[in-house]
A = this chain, B = another copy of it.
Amino acid sequence: MPKRPRIYLAGPEVFLPDALAAGQAKVTLCATHGFEGVFPLDAALDLTGLAKHEAAARISAANEGLMRTCDVLVANLTPFRGVSMDSGTAFEVGFMRALGRPVLGYSNIAGDYKARADAYRALRIGLPDADGPDVDVEDFGLAENLMIAAAIVESGGSVVARAVPAGQEMRDLTGFEACLVQMQRGLDPLKRA
């Protein structure tokens, strides 16, 4: 039996109260498409007795090591506590991209970055921020910052962005599955750059 391509399952699902079950749902769906899903280890490590900074270092080292064993990455790009995706997930997209491995992604919210940024700025919520009225809002018709969206296109994929019912942004796997289908159809995730 040939080796199944290993997919690193990046996204803020690691912060769900039932993170391991949410990860398993993705792993199961991967298996039905012939892939091996690999969920980040945040909730799977025994961090008992570690100081906060030690726990963080342990999780970081585990996930970086795990990424190096994977052939491809599929990221949940859904905005998380602001206009953009989870920053840890963005880090991971860049990490796998630098290794020359395909990166794919989906957002469970429709619409492009500019529309979200404009809506956010109009709220003037007043929390400290590097943004300001004269700061440009990038407008490339993309669902996320261009470094992320372009890396996905350059990988041979396209960002999947579609709305799901409110509250299901970390649960609905339709967009995730669309990424798996992209991989089956056109990518060769075992062929590394």
Contacts and interface: CB of A to CB of B under 8 A. Distances in A.
Q: Which of A16, A86, A91 has the most CB of B within 10 A?
A: A91
Nearest to A96: B98
A143 to B, nearest CB: 11
A60 B129 CA distance: 25
A99 interface: yes
Q: Which of A17, A52, A94, A123 has the most CB of B within 10 A?
A: A94
**Tally of this chain's copies:** 2
A82 to B, nearest CB: 1
A30 interface: no
Interface in A104-149: 108-109, 116-117, 119-121, 123, 125, 127-132, 134-142, 144-149
A83 interface: yes
